[in-house]
Amino acid sequence: MRIVDPTSGLGPADLTDLAELPAPSSGTGVLCGLSNSKPGATVLLETLGRRFFEQHGLGPMTVASKPSAASGAEEELLDHLGAQYRLAVVAIGD
């Protein structure tokens, strides 16, 4: 697992390689978003999804959500996303 966190200076490697990755055999795509269910998270993920598509050819990005911002993501959801996608973008801000 490679974690990219722009707030701590961990920038992404060349994302063009990701566009060439095949989707998992049981999956639907390369890219997904995971919303923490706070206000604005879905809009942030949708905007990032458009940019990933326009600039890197990744997409379309599916967006999943946790049931509540007050609790962590259920293991079933994380396992599902891990089996379906190669890259996840997590929105944790308001």
In tens, the pLDDT along 12-34 reads 555 556 556 555 554 457 788 99
At residue 84, the pLDDT reads 85
- Output the pTM of the full model: 0.69
> What are the residues facing 33 on neighbouring strands?
63, 89
Q: What pLDDT, in 10s, does the model give residues 43-71?
A: 888 888 888 888 877 777 889 999 888 88
* Domain ranges within the chain, ordered by starting residue: 25-91
Question: How does DSSP assign 21-77, residue by residue?
Answer: SPPPTT-S-SEEEEE-SSTTHHHHHHHHHHHHHHHH---PPEEEE-S-TTSPPPHHH
Residue 4 phi/psi, 5-degree rounding, is -115, 120
